[in-house]
Amino acid sequence: MGETAGDLISQTFNLGYGGGTVALLILFLFVLTISIYSKNQKPILYWTVITVASTLGTTISDFLSRTLSVTYLGVTQETGYIYATVLLVFALIFTFGIWKWYSKTDTIESGLSKTTEFLYWLAILTSSTLGTAFGDLLAHDTPLGFAGGTLLLLGLLIIVILLAFFTTIARALLYWLAIILTHPIGATMGDYLTKPEGMNLGNIEASLVLVLVFIVVIATGKLVLKKQPE
């Protein structure tokens, strides 16, 4: 959903990748501040931050790989995807390094302070941006295309899930691998829905379809949880 929503804002609404990034960054900081300082952590806040981060990740990735790389650095579009992916890999490593340096005791399971929670969401945003760039790299720079890239990434995600169930590999590592893989799946699937090489639904139509699917999934999840015995 973040991929189609990002394209909707930057392309359909004609804000451009830079303008869309600025607008979404302001929105992201706003909803993140509400989430961090809220006394009642409600699921709607979490999912709102996730959705905005995913959408912002799309526009940042497109700005790096297209506007910055092609317009300002003068490289080809294909090379721009490589530049953006490599840059974001280092950015994610740097973010994890700051997180580890700042707090050696906070974990996702034990709870986070406000600062480490901010770093957590920064890592989510960076991994979302990396995932979008990597998804574009697979779809445009390899013979896989949108459909093939989606299937490959789904296969890798299934492997990570199986490793979580049947191995003793650190859960934190598998968690972030799953996060990183989930975003390019969404990116390639979103492009498959909107681009002429795929279903060519258009940004508005695809976004509406995915919003509906998202609502159905969340509602179904809540119903399942309610039926489980306490």
Q: How many domains does the chain have?
A: 1
8 Å CB contact between 91 and 84: no
Side chain identity, residue 97: G
Q: What's the pLDDT score for residue 31?
A: 93
Tell me the residue range of the domain where 48 lies: 2-227
Q: What's the pLDDT score for residue 76?
A: 84
Spatial distance between the Cα atoms of 76 and 80, rounded to a whole number of angstroms? 6
Spatial distance between the Cα atoms of 71 and 85, rounded to a whole number of angstroms? 17
**8-state DSSP, 117:** H
Element counts in the chain: helices (H) and strands (E): 8, 0
Count of CB atoms within 10 A of residue 11's CB?
16
Count of CB atoms within 10 A of residue 37's CB?
9
The pTM is what?
A: 0.78
- Which residues in the chain come in under a pLDDT of 70? 1-8, 11, 104-112, 186-192, 194-207, 210, 214, 217-218, 221-230
> Reduced to 3 DSSP states, what percent helix, strand and coil does the chain have, rounded to the nearest 5?
80, 0, 15
